[in-house]
Structure 1
Amino acid sequence: MTVDVDIALVGGGGAASLVLAALGRAGVPGLRVAIVDPVHKRGQDRTWAFWGTPGTFLDPLLSASWDEVDVVTPARRRSLPLAPLRYAMLRSAPLYDLAADAEKRLDATRLTVPAGALDDDGERVTVAGPDGAPLVRAAWVLDSRPRKPERPGLTTWLQHFRGWWLEADRPVFDPGRAVLMDFRTPQPARGVSFGYVLPVSDRFALIEYTEFSPATLTGEAYDAALHAYAALLGLDLTGLRVREVEDGVIPMTDGPFRPRPSPRVVRLGTAGGATRPSTGYTFSAMARQAGDVARALAAGRAPVPAPPYPARHLWMDAVQLRALDRGLTGGVAFFDRLFDRNPAGRVLRFLDGGTSPREDLMLMASSPLLPMTRAALDHALHRVRS
């Protein structure tokens, strides 16, 4: 039997959970919702770190937040005040629980099977199952399943990482200080690496090793990097327990994602362009997409979110990626200069897509001029050829 609904969420991860939570807050009367995903997400399976202003619906869900963060290079440690912004940590379980509550209030239908093809006839969308049989017919489909860009970009890197949740029997960590980027880690031949520390309490913290580079590492290499970073921090791992391990791979590419592949199918999350090409950050843009969808439905409009980032920011990201990929500028030097010559709030708002054209010009002026000009010309030549 085919389920008939107004909105079908295909995929049930962070993007869909944020949409469900937003729909639950919006209280759209009579809205019929279906979720199609082979896994019903529950518990702790990931951690999102993001910046924004306090006072949102996410505040009660946060594990920790910081008004000041450190950026560390081999030459110095910077403490960056973020006000009026703050850096925040959200673990997955509270968000999944919030989405589950909203799902119940919406009386949504959940189908725990993989979704197949989407057939959009311009009036309704049919969501097929893995065997091709129709599962759902919906006025709109919001598809957050991961997918590759519509066509390859000039530069394709990855943000890839492994993190350890460390627990101690005595106070070890400073819960008032978070490390946003620590570039004292050994740098790869092609790319940039850093560690970071997000303490939840004086006895529990996430330490992570991250690389921006073209390829992932082996599990043994990530563990070795984390052992080395823990030693750099002065942590005695014999007195600490690794309670959880988190791994991840996020695309960093100037290849275009197609946010609306057909009239009534809208892509969200990474598939909808929510991942920032220059950093791999995704959460804030996913939250904006979810809010846009809920407000549009409450107003009787099509649930099509605004572009996650301005076009000029995507061009700036493409130029930065090209400069790093060709070795025109070093990653550590680039980020060191960026934070040295700009207020932290400007840098973070840029990475979140919130700076003005005037601020963008100031950011470009603070970057190494000759290497970035060469990268911009290289990127433009590629666009002409393609």
Structure 2
Amino acid sequence: MKKYDYIILGSGLSGLLTAYRMATDTWFDDKSILIIDKEIKNQNDRTWCFWEEPKGEFDSILSKTWEKAFVGNHVFQQSFEMNPYLYKMIRSRDFYKLVFDTISCKSNFTFINDEILSWKTIENSVEVQGKNQIYSCNFLLNSFFDVNPILNQNKYPYLKQHFIGWFIKTKKEIFDDSEVKFMDFTIEQDGNTRFMYVLPTSKNEALFEYTLFSEDILEKSVYEKAIQNYLQNVGITDYEMVEKEKGNIPMTCFPFHKQNSECILFIGTAGGWTKASTGFTFFNSNKQSKKLVEFLKTNQNLTLFHRKNRYWFYDLILLEVLHQNNELGAKLFGTLFQKNSIQNIFQFLNEEGTLFSDLKVMLSLPSWVFIKATFRALWKLV
């Protein structure tokens, strides 16, 4: 049985970002790297969006960029210029192609289709049991997400960002494709945090996602009826369905890093790389993959990789608010955008703000909600 230096379980976003960085770093040229997944990723099964300054690492595979963003609820509605940021979109098929084209040129990379059943540490190695065979490595990077550890505790709040999206095409050119509707809370809230997320990719094509931050998944028909109603309310009745997509992203500050060991590191959503307060994945995963590859080059114990920062605590406070008062989401996010510049909010959500600008964002929350949530969050640190 061949022993690899590294095995990456899963060829989703985090696994492939990590593999891509290893493939483009000559330090790993003499390291054997195996990626295992039960399927080959080559379809548009995901749409990732993120904000950053105009020049970016993945600009060659961007599907679309926007300069303006709309945020609104029933009492506050505004369009913002995002300068110096752009809001960027990547479709997963383009990302998969970029990564697989890159690693296919590297003789030290192997990809195997197999279903993973289990893994265990044996002395200083990790043994991975697949459906077809057994694999061995020095270090295992595991992106397989298991929700059970979260469900079997009640210390850390757990919400989901869940959605269904429709890509539609209209006969007439009716969309302003310079502006994304980032959060449109003018729809019925029904006791939850619900918004429409609209990405116009051209004058006559757009993605409409009905999105919730809440505990419970809805019936498929509820999401689709909400999209239909929204389209009708904005006067869009003559359109063609092009694609559909759906997602369910965990939002939690659960300490995933406690599952790590000397030889096993959980990455991606399984490692807490998803932004807990928003469910955004691409930007955080990109940053974490960069840090991880630099860390691997030190050959240190993998339990030393995790570093908790102040944003973990900020996320915990925001999740406490949304968990205890989910119906306040529209007011909460509306207030954040009303009282802060969009640039400060983006810096805050990208975990790149100053302590002063971060506190300004947090203190713009309704004071009684913020104070109660802060005390609940502090109690969890005990």
- Under a length normalisation based on structure 2, what TM-score does the superposition of the two structures give? 0.91
Amino acid at match of 2:31: L
* Alignment partner, residue 361 of structure 2: 363
Task: Give yes or no for contact 2:195–2:212 (8 Å, CA) kept in 1.
Answer: yes
Among 343, 359, 366, the residue aligned to 1:345? 343
Distance 1:329 1:364 in 2: 19
Identity among equivalent positions (%) equals 28
Amino acid at match of 1:158: K
Once the two structures are TM-superposed, the CA of residue 211 in structure 1 deviates from its matched residue by: 0.6
Once the two structures are TM-superposed, the CA of residue 170 in structure 1 deviates from its matched residue by: 2.9
Task: Give yes or no for contact 2:189–2:327 (8 Å, CA) kept in 1.
Answer: no
Once the two structures are TM-superposed, the CA of residue 54 in structure 1 deviates from its matched residue by: 2.7
* Alignment partner, residue 12 of structure 1: 11
Once the two structures are TM-superposed, the CA of residue 340 in structure 1 deviates from its matched residue by: 1.2
Aligned length: 376
Change (3 A) 1:259 1:114: farther
Distance 2:257 2:97 in 1: 30
* Alignment partner, residue 36 of structure 1: 36
In the TM superposition, 1:1-386 aligns within 5 A as 2-27=1-26, 28-107=28-107, 108-121=109-122, 123-130=124-131, 134=134, 136-148=135-147, 149=149, 152=153, 153-189=155-191, 191-236=192-237, 239-258=238-257, 261-297=260-296, 299=297, 301-302=299-300, 307=306, 310-327=308-325, 330-381=328-379, 384=382
Change (3 A) 1:306 1:359: farther
Amino acid at match of 1:335: F
The unaligned stretches of length 5 or more in structure 2 are none
Worse-superposed segment, 18-27 or 212-221: 18-27
Distance 1:300 1:261 in 2: 17
Once the two structures are TM-superposed, the CA of residue 272 in structure 1 deviates from its matched residue by: 0.9
Distance 2:234 2:199 in 1: 13
Q: Deviations over 1:96-125 (max 9, x none)?
A: 001111221123222211123222245322
- Under a length normalisation based on structure 1, what TM-score does the superposition of the two structures give? 0.90
The unaligned stretches of length 5 or more in structure 1 are none
Once the two structures are TM-superposed, the CA of residue 77 in structure 1 deviates from its matched residue by: 2.6
Once the two structures are TM-superposed, the CA of residue 49 in structure 1 deviates from its matched residue by: 1.1
Change (3 A) 1:105 1:260: farther
Distance 1:312 1:285 in 2: 15
Change (3 A) 1:328 1:67: closer
Task: Give yes or no for contact 2:76–2:334 (8 Å, CA) kept in 1.
Answer: no
Distance 2:54 2:3 in 1: 39
Distance 1:288 1:70 in 2: 26
Once the two structures are TM-superposed, the CA of residue 215 in structure 1 deviates from its matched residue by: 0.3
Task: Give yes or no for contact 1:289–1:306 (8 Å, CA) kept in 2.
Answer: no
Task: Give yes or no for contact 2:193–2:214 (8 Å, CA) kept in 1.
Answer: yes
Distance 1:127 1:351 in 2: 36
